[in-house]
Each structure stands twice: as structure tokens, then as C-alpha cells.
Amino acid sequence: MTVRVRFAPSPTGYLHVGNARTALINWLFAARAQGRFILRIDDTDAERSRPEYAAAIDVDLHWLGLAWAERVVQSSRLGAYAAARQALGATGRLYACYETAEELETARRLALSRGRPPVYDRAGLDLDAPARSRLEAEGRSPHFRFRLDDRAIAWQDGVRGPSHVPGGSVSDPVLFRADGRPTYTLASVVDDIDLAISDVIRGEDHAANTAVQIQIFQALGAAPPRFAHHALLVDASGAGFSKRLGSLSLRALREEGVEAMALASLLARLGTADAVTPEGDLAALTASFDLARLGRAPARFDAADLWRLNAELLRRMPFAAVAERLAAIGLEAADARFWEAVRGNLTRLAEARDWWQVVRSDITPVREDPDVLAAAARLLPAEPWDETTWAAWTGALAQATGRKGKALYHPLRLALTARDSGPELKRLLPLLGRVRTLARLQGPGA
Ligand code: GLU
């Protein structure tokens, strides 16, 4: 069987790191099996879905490098859901219910307060035709639930191993709302059948849905796919991520300067016992990906890990890979020499601008040790300069002043860069050039 997976976000907010992890896990799983990764936009909730969020999902996945083979939008598949309604209706397992949301909530609270599981009492099943007409005459329109079998539902989970949900512990799911629209619960199954999805890989918050959906697959005469439920991602305080709370969106991380591969490198290994290593492309992550390595404990996301990977990836990045992006932040004139000098000192690419300013614009040098600086100006070699110039110059300076180590280098660094630390001076020096170097050593009016 060809592996076909789907990532199925609801366009009700911006994708967050937890969503990105689900998408990546699906993508890597498909890539590993040479299967297909399908993007499905779950927009059956018309009130909360927004086209701009759907568009942002495309942008975010594209940025992460997660290309999709097909893109399916649920709101354009209403005909398929209507056909499923007919088919389920014919099985006799769809039944009309008339409770309002408030009534259901009251019943739920009551059940909980009596120590019972808050499972729907199937009152709708007891309504005969006259009773239904009376309710409709009151102005109520029915929504439709699917009558579950009360047997335990078991499946072999790709992450959790043998799994089951006891019979009677889940409410009969609503499959069609009072306005006739299908719910996610139904639409997802119909799509998974029509798209020949082989593996449904999603967060463990969907395990109860799986129990219900397996029965719907069967009622529709289809074999259920394989299921895998990964543990959820939590933040450093142990709290989960949510689109509604707007937590840690991909777009925010991107705007802050996170490299897509830093995020992918982290998310691919979080929740496994494997070390998180910076990988330059998805192929490297694919090679080592295995669903079975995901643990059952919540995976902890720590932004500090992300920035460490970011710095590490930038440090390894060749100039060709960043030339366009440097130009886009105003550094059209930056060249490989500049990039190779500064890349080891960046946490985010945009910080290259600070170093560009150091080598190309006016800064206010910090002149702490006039004697050393005066001698340094005197001994400054003639151009042309290269990376050996620094050693020759500071060697002569050490002899002339009797200084060495930090006592020699630190005043030079402060004068040349106005910063305490930074890229190797032997690399910055040729970028600065003699005129600028001399001016910084001598100060204004010299
Ligand atoms: N739209 C659902 C969600 O965002 C999809 C769940 C699934 O993968 O079936 O949670």
C-alpha cells in the first residue's frame, strides 16, 4: 500500500510550533516511505475559519519546506459529505437530536457532579415521529448524531502501541449540525477514505476521535487507516500550545529570525531519545526519522534550544545560501569574505547588519589605552592586507610595547569595533581597510 498521509489544520489561527511538529512528522513519515503528503484545510467550522489563516498555512508550510502533493479544502467537498449522509442514513445509525448547546452543557455538568462520565444520554433515540414534530413546531431544528456500537474500540497505534477506548465512554458524535453542515468528525473520515489515506498521524488529543472515526469508517464500508498519536508539545512551564491563544506562531518565529531548518531540526527530534542536531536540509532528517522513536511523554519545547540551533546553522551556512537574503536586508555589497568573517557570531541573520556597520560605516570607537593605540597606528602595515596582516602587525606591536594577550588585543578590538567581543580580528581587519583602521586608532582630529 502506498503511504499517503495528510496534515489537516483548521484555518482558525496561525500555525504554532505544535502544529508544525505534526506537519513535519507527517511529512518525514511520507518522505521516508516515498509516499505522498497531502495538505487538507479543515474549514467546516464556518464561524471560526478565515481565508487569511488558510493562506497563512500555505506560507508557513512553504517556509518550513514541507511541500505537499495535493491540497484539499473541506468546504469544497460538501457533495461528498452529503453522499456520506445518505449512506449513513441508510444504515439507520444517524438519529435526530434537538438539545440546545446550553441544555447539553447543563447535562454535562450534572453528569460530572454525580461522578458519571459526561456521555450523551441518547435521548434523541427515544423520540418518535410525533415527538420530533412537536419539537420542530417549537422552532427547534435537529442535528444528527451517529449511534456508536458500545463495544471497546482497539487499534495498533504507531506511537502508543496497542490502544483502546472502552465502550460507552464516548458520546455518539454529532455528524451534521442543525444547519445541515457536516462536522469535522464526519468530513475527516470521508476525506480520508476518498484520498486513500494510509496513515493518520496526529496529536494524542485526537485519540477519542479515533475511536469514533474507526466506527464511521466501518459504517461507510471502508477499512480504517493506520493511526498514530504523538504526545503533545508543551512549553517550558508544561502548558500546551493553542492556535486560539496565539502562542508561538510560525510567522512570529520567522519574523524573529528563526531559520526554518533550525525549527525543523528541533521539532523532528523533540520527544525522542535522539540528540537534537542542526541539519541543513529535510533529507538529513528524513534519513533518521522513525515514528517508533517518539516517546509517550509530552515533548518539551524550549526556545533556547531553537536559538542555539539557529546560531549553529548560520555558522555553517555558505555565502551562496545567504547572498540573496543579505541583499534583501540591505547588504547588497556584502561578499563571501564578509559573511565568512561574521557568520560565527550571529544568532539570527539580521544581526549581520550590525557587523556590516562595523566594517563599513562610522562607529564611535572606544579608545581605552592611548599608548597602545598610538603605537598601533605607527606600526600599521601598508596595504594590501589579508588574514596574515593581523599577526604580523600585532607581533610587531607586542615587541614595541611589551604587551601581550588581552592587554594588547582588547584595546585594539574596542578601538576597531567599539565592541567587547565579536568576529576574529584577523578577518575583520582586511574588511576594514587601512584608512578606516587608522582613523579608528587615531580618533577625531588626529
Ligand atoms: N482539523 C483537525 C485539527 O486541526 C485535524 C485533526 C486530524 O488530523 O484529523 O486538529
Query: pLDDT at residue 243 above 90?
Result: no
Ligand 1 environment, Cβ below 6 A: 8-10, 42, 184, 188, 202, 206
How much is the pLDDT for 245?
A: 62
- Which helix (DSSP H) or strand (DSSP E) does residue 323 occupy? helix 319-328
Q: Give the Å distance between the CA of 61 and the centre of ligand 1.
A: 16
Q: Which of 184, 189, 200, 232 to mutate to test the pocket of ligand 1 (most atoms within 8 A of CB)?
A: 184
Q: Can you state the percent helix, strand and coil of the chain, rounding each to 5? A: 50, 10, 40
Q: Give the Å distance between the CA of 41 and the centre of ligand 1.
A: 9
How much is the pLDDT for 404?
A: 92
Query: pLDDT at residue 242 above 80?
Result: no
Q: What is the average pLDDT across 343-370?
A: 95
Q: Give the Å distance between the CA of 6 and the centre of ligand 1.
A: 9
Within 10 angstroms of residue 374's Cβ, the number of other Cβ atoms is: 15
How much is the pLDDT for 247?
A: 64
Q: Give the Å distance between the CA of 213 and the centre of ligand 1.
A: 12
**Domain 370-442 classification at class level:** mainly alpha
Query: What kind of architecture, by CATH, is found in domain 1-73+181-316?
Result: 3-Layer(aba) Sandwich (3.40)
Percent of the chain at pLDDT exceeding 90: 93
| HSE of 39, CA atoms in CB hemisphere, 13 A | 21
**By alpha-carbon position, which residue is closest to atom 6 of ligand 1?**
8
Residue 445: band (very low, low, confident or very high) from pLDDT cuts 50, 70, 90: low
| pLDDT digits 0-9 by tens, 269-317 | 999 999 999 999 999 999 999 999 999 999 999 999 999 999 999 999 9
**Domain 80-176 classification at class level:** alpha beta
How much is the pLDDT for 274?
A: 92
Q: Which of 188, 209, 213 to mutate to test the pocket of ligand 1 (most atoms within 8 A of CB)?
A: 188
Which 8-state DSSP code applies to residue 204?
Answer: G
Residue 237: band (very low, low, confident or very high) from pLDDT cuts 50, 70, 90: confident
Residue by residue, DSSP assigns 139-164 as: T---EEEE----S-EEEEETTTEEEE
Q: How far apart are CA 157 and CA 4, in angstroms?
A: 17
List the domain boundaries for the chain: 1-73+181-316, 80-176, 319-360, 370-442
How much is the pLDDT for 443?
A: 82
